Amino acid sequence: MSKVTIQNFYQYRHNEVIWSMSGAFANDQGNCSVHKNDIPHSCKKNPEILDLTPDALSENKSEDCCTGGALDAWAPRQPFDGHPPLNLILKAPGLGYTCGPLLNVDPAVSRDFWGRRQRQVFRTWKATCTYSSFLANDSPVCCVSLSSFYNPGIKSCPKCSRGCITFYTANMQVNLNSTNPSFLYFSPLYDNRQPSVKSDFGDGLDTVKCTDHMCPIRVHWHVKTNYLTHWRVKLTITKYNYMKNFSNWNVLGQHPDAAALYWGIPYFNEELITTTEDGVGSVSTEILLEKNSDSFTFKNGWGFPRRVYFNGEKCEMPLPDTFPALPNGNSKPKPSHFLFLLIFFVSQTLVFTRFPNGVPWVRYHGSYKDLQINLVWPGKDSSLGVDCVGTVSASLVTYASIQALQPDLIINAGTAGGFKAKGACIGDVYLACDVAYHDRRIPIPVFDLYGVGLRQACASPNLQKELNLKVGKLSTGNSLDMSPQDEASIIANDATIKDMEGAAVAYVADLLKVPIIFVKAVTDIVDGEKPTAEEFLKNLAAVTAALEEKVTQVIDFINGKCLSDL
């Protein structure tokens, strides 16, 4: 009798864990103390994985598991002669494994009599087997296409050359050959004149929909948006196989900065559904990535992965010199400055008188559909280098912009704190109906009303209904946190959201008789349990992305309409 042991020498690189496992178990859970709610199956970097026994519960089993580690022999028993096997072939996980020569090592030792007695085997040999996706598949099983916001071109998938069939032919031939599912023989309707056989890649017949690349799986990587501190990627996985469903799929992307593993969420996108005559099965997700100031650039295709794997299989990549390139050689596209305060000045005609010298204000401008749009950002403080926030900067830049641009409408877009007592949640986008101060306390008759400075935004019921925006009152103060006096004033203002600029912008707009709309996205819950500054910084990037999308919809709605139509 011979004993065969298979060892996997792969180790986790960062903070990866095993969340769950079927058909086997890790013998050591390791230190999972950093996980407070969902506890992983194992947090150990080099866990030993053991096969379940035959009496394991059915919900814990997987295909071909649960033999207590025993492997079936594929060769008749031979009398032991002290010589190693001539060839070692590893087929259990799948094709693509090549094993080196068997080498003599120290005989293994086992124990019996309850571990009190050692028994040494006659001989022990050891070999190392390596995996190659090239050997495992005679042609690629997936390909990668690329696109970006800064280049209108799309780099299509490299060709897999697996052949393809029409939907009608696939159905007809499966029925005809149902008694022999290992092979399919196609009629003259078959494209590319290449027979399709049972794929080694998973289960099911490799009957692929006809495309320009003819790959069963396509992974599309789209660089979608560039922010000040983050950038966003949209990842789409599309299946062109008529006969195969992929559940529990995963995609590994190797980027110049790091590697990341993505997988489906149960009951949401964990399954790539069957391709039909009318369409293909696909899932997509958006990924928000933090910038590394030392290495971030879009030059030379840096934003694209260098390798992509689907379910462990290497995908065909376009050549790096064909990646979508930056226009005019620029390596740093302008980011979307949706940080604290953005003011859009919308008009029918283009008018601009230069800002005063020395101010940090930043202006972007251009035409969009029938509108002339000027986007003004207060910029950064020249001494400290932080964003110019608060009422003073907001009122100054609003006044100067109205004088210089003569706009027909102002859109004040920015972030805000929200009050859960009024129904606000992280990521909610509000239209502010009324705006007031909460930190200008003047306890003198009439002056107290001046201190509150209540003003109304431009009425926009059709806009609110069309975009399904929440509506609430906005309260403004020059502090990120909230003192007890501020809280009392905010309650008196009946505010749902709180910011640091809105009332100042509203004052100037009202003074110069320019209508204004406030679009505010909630980054933190002011009356919640978490510290305001901590929650604000944690949610800033994701919330400003939602704000960007909503402001774009607002501008689309405004185009071609009068103020009375809003």
CA–CA distance, 419 with 532 (Å, rounded to integer): 12
Confidence class for position 340, pLDDT limits 50, 70, 90: very low
User: In the chain, where are the structural domains located?
Assistant: 1-137, 142-161+206-322, 362-558
pLDDT in tens, 450-503: 999 999 998 899 998 999 899 999 999 988 778 888 888 988 889 999 988 999
For helices 391-405 and 502-511, the axis angle rounded to 10 degrees is 30
Percent of the chain topping pLDDT 90: 12
Q: Which of 489, 426, 430 is nearest to 457 (CA)?
A: 430
Kindly state the average pLDDT of the residues 156-180. Answer: 50
Give the pLDDT confidence score for residue 198 in this predicted structure: 39
Q: Can you tell me the mean pLDDT for 8-26?
A: 73
Mean pLDDT computed over every residue of the chain: 76
pTM here? Answer: 0.42
CATH 2.60.40.290 matches 142-161+206-322: yes
> 4-8, 143-147, 336-340: which has the highest mean pLDDT?
143-147
Burial 132-165 (b: 16+ CB within 10 A, else e): ebeebbebbbbbbbbbbbbbeeebbbbebebbbb
Mean pLDDT of 252-270: 79
Largest CA distance in the chain: 108
Q: Flag whether pLDDT at 378 surpasses 80.
A: yes
For position 473, what pLDDT does the model report? Answer: 93
* 23-27, 335-339, 506-510: range with highest mean pLDDT: 506-510
Higher local confidence (pLDDT), 199 or 448? 448
Q: Which one has a higher pLDDT value, 527 or 80?
A: 527
Confidence at 265, pLDDT banded by 50, 70, 90: confident
pLDDT of residue 277: 58
Scored b (16 or more CB within 10 A) or e, 285-294 reads beeebebeee
Encode 435-500 in three state secondary structure: EEECCCCCCCCCHHHHHHCCEECCCCHHHHHHHCCEEEEEEECCCCCCCHHHHHHHHHHCCCEEEC
362-558 adopts what CATH topology? Rossmann fold (3.40.50)
Domains 142-161+206-322 and 362-558 alike in fold? no
The distance of Cα 225 from the centroid of its chain, to the nearest Å, equals 12
Confidence at 519, pLDDT banded by 50, 70, 90: very high
More confident call, 136 vs 206: 136
- pLDDT at position 329, please? 43
Q: Catalogue the E-assigned strands of 240-280.
A: 246-247, 250-254, 259-263, 271-272
